[in-house]
Structure 1
Amino acid sequence: MHEGLSPEAEKLYLAMLRGGRVEHGAAHDELERLGLVRDDEVRPPRSALAAIASGHEVAAVRARETAEVLAAAYAEHGANDVDFVEVLKDAGEVISTFEEMQSQAKSEIRALDPGSYLSPQPEASSAQPPALARGIGYRVVYDSELLQTELGFASVQGSIAAGEQARTFPGVPLKLVIADSDRALIAVPTVTGGNVVALLIHPSVLLSALIELFEAFWRMSVSITPGGHDDSQQEPTTATRRLMALLSAGLTDESIARELGVSERTVHRRVSRVQQLLGAQTRFQLGVQASRRGWL
């Protein structure tokens, strides 16, 4: 899945918007392929953004389907006969394994958290603070419903304050923890309900697939800002929608400032804020995220 423009293509597109010289090459070919340039003339990026945003939705559906297939297959058909998968049925064993994975991690913990299957809140871990203190990175994607409860929101904000990188996405399909690239733990509700088994995955093709699954959700998710309630819950305002419409039409900052009756510095500040809110590194990625969320 193409996340957006390459830095070279984005630089050329912005230069052409300002009337700069057309330079043919890989960057120009990329712009033509995405429909942003035609016959050496820049085109409004709305249709290209819509196509990429649609691709994100397809990727999200496929990722969820993959997660459900993986979890169901190993939960229902028994993983005891597979040497790279261990089935943990005792709650104490699941918790101790989860804590051990964090305490033994060498570089990073990655996780998908839809909330506990037995409780709607994210589960706190006593192993996280010391792991963060010794430099272990944490990247976690939370289901957006968790942020709608006071306890869930406070828990996530506490983790962010401690040093965790947190993002949110609607409909996170399973509870997953990955320690480095060595082990993964999947919590799976039993078919009869009321209980949870966990699958401990060792190095294998399955572990590699789970890592790719996490990274797909990380790319599609939106950053959670530290402190205060998630600003995205109040967005998009009418002002933000208008700003995004002007950006998607390909207007320069100078033209946008003139349309809005503000300074270019104010435009820069507003764009930077929305970029941070949506976890976008570039303005093109900002357009993709805004289009995917229906802000355009």
Structure 2
Amino acid sequence: MSPAHPPHRVEELCEPGSELYARALREGRVRTEDAADTPCLIDFGLLHPNFEDTEWLEPTAPATALHRLLKNTAERIADERRREERLTATFEPLMGIGSAAAADTKAIRVLSSKERINEAISEAMADASQQLLAIQPHSAYHKRLEFNEAAHTAALERDQALLDRGCRIRTLYQHTLRHSPHVIARYELLDGDVEARTLNEVLDRLLIIDQTVAFVPANRDRTAAVEIRHPALVDYLVMVFDRLWHLAVPMYPQAVQQPSVNGITARQRAIAALLIEGHTDTAIADRLGMNVRTTRVHIAKLAATLGSESRAQLGYLIARSGILEQEGSAQ
């Protein structure tokens, strides 16, 4: 193929090539210079030189070209089948030796692209008959660059198909997503046994399907994931989810308002707990799913409520006020 002519397969014949080949069939020949922009016709054997007059190219009859191309395809298929037979004969004696390793591979598998991750999740969801347990951290919905409308729609359809089979869905979010338009719209569209709750902090993304398979991220940008089918590991993740679920605040279908104690909101109490542990504003924002600017606004309000004039004094006043002890009773 010439640099100006994009490469393609013969079954995807380009429009200029198709038009020139049709003209050659009608007129019996075309000038060699006319085919300069469609080298695919010569590469695929649809045009061939006239050896008596090199200024012209003659067309190969469509029936002849089709027969030749189909024959080439059949030969490739036959070669692949012979290769399959040789591979089977080579590895069959070794299958028993590698059975233990194969079992471990099936129990924990790394999925190295978003396409493979989505495919594996879709397959597991299609086989589900009981429930989906999910943890969805802040970044999955709130970071503009990560939100993908097509992927969101596909996930919504996949979840609704699960609900239509009589399964249930339980999802944990961070408190910062209680008023997210994407999250609210999602639950307004889903129809079935679905519940959502929120916490100040959650784990990274987690999906557990029918207590048989779990998916967790394998890197920070979520372009890889680990598929877990080991029963002991999946049971452990279910137990972790259940404990977080019982600590969480209901969001859907019946939302529970987080209480404010002595003018200090639940979010400010969460920030206070991380402040006295020595975390920076950036670390606090990351853990609670907020931007740094919003975090600092809450810190300023907390300082004003407690009468603090400095960061060091704020930590002392938080500890003396007893608001962190009140947090447990408020939940």
TM-score range, shorter chain: 0.3 to 0.5
* Higher relative contact order structure (alpha carbons within 8 Å, sequence separation ≥ 6): 1
Q: TM-score, normalised by structure 2?
A: 0.42
Q: TM-score, normalised by structure 1?
A: 0.46
Larger Rg: 2
